[in-house]
A and B are shown apart, each in its own frame.
Chain A
Amino acid sequence: MAKTDIYEADRDTTWCPGCGNFPLRKALAEALAGLELKPENAAVITGIGQAAKLPHYFRTNGYNGLHGRALPPAVAAKLSNPELTVIAATGDGDGYGEGGNHLIHTIRRNPDIAHFVHNNQIYGLTKGQASPTTYPGIETEVQPEGVTSEPFNPISFAVGMGASFIARSFVGDRDHLVKMMQAAIRHKGYALLDILQPCVSFNKVNTYQWYSERVYQLEDDYDNTDINAAFKKSREWGDKIPIGIIYQQKKPVFRESFPHLSDSIDVDGPDKAKVKNLIDNFS
């Protein structure tokens, strides 16, 4: 196995001690090392939030973008530079809240990217407001009477959209997380990996312990190609939370609808005879 230290960015982080982002980062290094992916051949593309700081604390190509906007640049980067392994990393607020519209349409496009959602069920960076996955009843400074809206269920949503790869994992089970990350990266198409990632500062409900007591790995006989089974599994949440690949299918990948694109970065532009031909249409 390749060494994980090639992915070390050698920088201080601003993550809180004990934050779930630390084990997540470690798992990512192991996953890439296991796939023998060199730092220059991968790009981590993010939005804004604690999770989205990942490109600063991890050594691959990195694109730290705008809040909610990780997916559009990730889709375009992969389309334009297919040699790059593209990983979009977002928080739950980033990916399911502000970036919700992009999520819908990225699933529709099915680009060959992996999307890791650091789901801590809270807004971390802005200090503890509700995210789309925060439980009803949870009180925050902004929701003093408690959250009233239904939580967003990313897994059911993705199954409903027919996403081609849908999985869940937990930072407290590193081996599992590494395996899921690798499967998501290997998958040809859009791979959503919802990662349970405790925020030790602001989410006092969904803690390491809370998740550890509930998560279980999907049974060996679970058929992740059966969409009805996937729907059922996607609704399971509470005392028991399944982790693993919940649904997977083969589907045409976004880039296949652009067969005219060149396989590597074309620095030169079109030859002039071609441009002249196009101009001639106007004569």
Chain B
Amino acid sequence: MDLNLVLAGEAGQGLKTLEALVGKALFRAGFNIFSNKDYMSRVRGGHNFMSIRFGDRPLQAPRQEIDILVALNDESIEKHQHKVSEDGFILYDGKFDDDRFIDIYASEMAKRINPKAKNSVYAGAVWKLLDLPIAILNDLIGEKFADDDIVYDNHQLLEVGYNAIDDEKYIDYNKSFLDGKDNQEIYINGNQAVGLGAAAAGVKFYSAYPMTPSTGILNFLAQNQKDFGIAVEQAEDEIGAINMALGASYSGVRAMTGSSGGGFSLMVEALGYAGVGEIPLVVAEVQRPGPATGLPTRTGQADLLFAINASQDEFPLIVLAPTDQEDAFYQSFRAFNLADKYQLPVIILSDQFLADSSKNIPEYKLDNLEIKRNFVDSDKVSPKSYRRYHFTEDGISPRAYPGQLADNVVLVDSHEHDENGFVTEDIELRNKMMIKRFKKLDKFIAEDRLEPEYIGPEEPDNLIVCWGSTAGPLKEALEIIQKRDENIGLLIFKDIWPLPVEKLKSLSNLAGKIISIESNFSGQLAKLIQQETTIKVDYKILKYDGRPFAAKELAERYFNEVINHG
């Protein structure tokens, strides 16, 4: 079973609160959930919708067809009515000549009790359609509001909505699985997952300038800064944000900044400083489509080649592309250890689709997570001989923070420098420093880089490659595809730079084709694969309209564009 509830209306109508309430309640009821937002770049008006898919098996992607539409205005009906299934329902304040419409008189009811709590009428009605116990919703309302009067009004309106639906309208589905589900799960979105990973890793400084869709990380860390002893600062601009983070890291704490494409563009000079100055730094780049300002609230994966090449000249950096809400936490935690161990910038390349969608996932396990800072041992290093950029076998120099070593100072520099951090133009030193810095990547490749996840038969005929958040929709699509094309495999890149190539090489000797599926115009992963391995991708399934892939859409495109035309 797989149902799709869509809440639609304009910005300012309380959609977000309604989504948070109903999504979490469905999660608590025991469903598997995947919810995502489709919103416009405006604060009031416009057309926004949120879809909450729920069912008895894990869900990873949005779906087009709708089972329950909550339409908060007329436009929502125009836009979505045709997608509502024949036996679906449309909850709307008013009547239409269509059996699917149910008027629950939400405005009228709310006027009598509390107009601000109108959306609770809808929540109650949805609940009754699904024949679920109202206590779950009541409890959540109690957790959300501190004010007893507000809780009371909402409870009343929930009940009004609940009672407005008569019994024969119940949606028929198998409820037995709800009891069998184990509840060691959480329901979280991608931005929150990145923020949580950072908090768990002991981030002590986060500075950013608001930019959709990365702002959620800033919000999350700001709201938790007191508990975790984090300094969260809204910088004057992105240049300030990243340079602040560098100063904080230099001074000895774990530091991070975040933005989306445009803001990240402004940060790149300082990213290079983190590279040459060997200052650990974690940067979250939450992609949105478009050069310049583009499509602010939409999604895409078009910054891959930019991220790995950001800033002038060459320096080692690591780019991680989390695939979902579970991976995002662990990758974010790991990013800090990698930044500290290798003393370089680590970019977490997320996107709006991942950032703004919520999913139920296994609760994060903390047992195996260990914070590793990699400062010099003050007792072992002889202060007089300490050199910040000391040449070592593996390229990793002893790092100290200012004041850590008695009678010693730490000099970091943005120029090419000698072992002490002093500016140099010496040819030999320049070469040695370049080699030293890149040795760190060799070590990363040998010790820490993760090969992509592979799903499929040992010797696939066709192989799909993808990276980052496209993995979710593709995993679902794969199930559909495999029904007709059993011998297909899916390779999901999570560490994306330096590109891990071993698994791909071992799979690439196949009878059929390699297909890359990406949310960008030119197939950036395909280019990267060819650049790093000379393996040529045969087909690309690309999407760049700013909307996420749906599973069915992917399967259809696979058959239409690859199989039928291949």
Contact = CB atoms under 8 A, between A and B. Distances in A.
Interface of A: 11, 38-41, 43, 45, 48, 53, 55-56, 59-66, 69, 72-81, 83-84, 101-102, 104-105, 258, 260-262, 265-270, 272, 274-276, 278-279, 282-283
A39 B407 CA distance: 7
B256 to A, nearest CB: 12
A40 B423 contact: no
A35 to B, nearest CB: 16
A261 B229 contact: yes
B514 interface: no
Contact of A77 (B202, B247, B369): B247
Contact of A64 (B253, B363, B414): B414
Contacts of B250: 63, 73, 77
Interface string B192-224: 100010011110110100000000000000001
10 contacts: A43-B251, A61-B411, A62-B413, A62-B421, A66-B243, A78-B251, A80-B247, A80-B255, A81-B403, A269-B200
A283 B414 contact: no
Given A77-B250, A276-B366, A283-B185, A270 B199 contact: yes
A132 B240 CA distance: 20
B342 to A, nearest CB: 18
Contacts of A61: 402-403, 409-411
B88 interface: no
B239 interface: yes
Given A43-B251, A72-B239, A260-B226, 17 more contacts: A40-B402, A40-B407, A56-B411, A62-B421, A65-B246, A65-B414, A73-B248, A76-B243, A76-B255, A78-B251, A81-B251, A101-B236, A261-B204, A261-B229, A265-B404, A270-B228, A279-B363
A266 B412 contact: no
A76 B205 contact: yes
Contacts of B402: 40, 43, 61, 77, 81, 84
B229 to A, nearest CB: 5
A73 B247 CA distance: 4
Contacts of A258: 225, 231
A278 B236 contact: no
Nearest to A83: B403
A262 B229 contact: yes
A276 B199 CA distance: 11
Contact of B253 (A56, A66, A80): A80
B422 interface: yes
B77 interface: no
B248 A76 contact: yes
Among B224, B270, B404, B409, the most chain A Cβ lie within 10 Å of the Cβ of: B409
Contact of A41 (B227, B231, B403): B403
B273 interface: yes
B556 to A, nearest CB: 34
A265 B199 CA distance: 16
Interface in B218-270: 224-229, 231, 233, 235-237, 239-241, 243-248, 250-255, 269-270
A102 B247 contact: no
Nearest to B406: A40
B539 interface: no
Contacts of B185: 283
Given A63-B247, A76-B245, A260-B225, A81 B253 contact: yes
Contacts of B412: 62-64
Contacts of A62: 409-413, 421
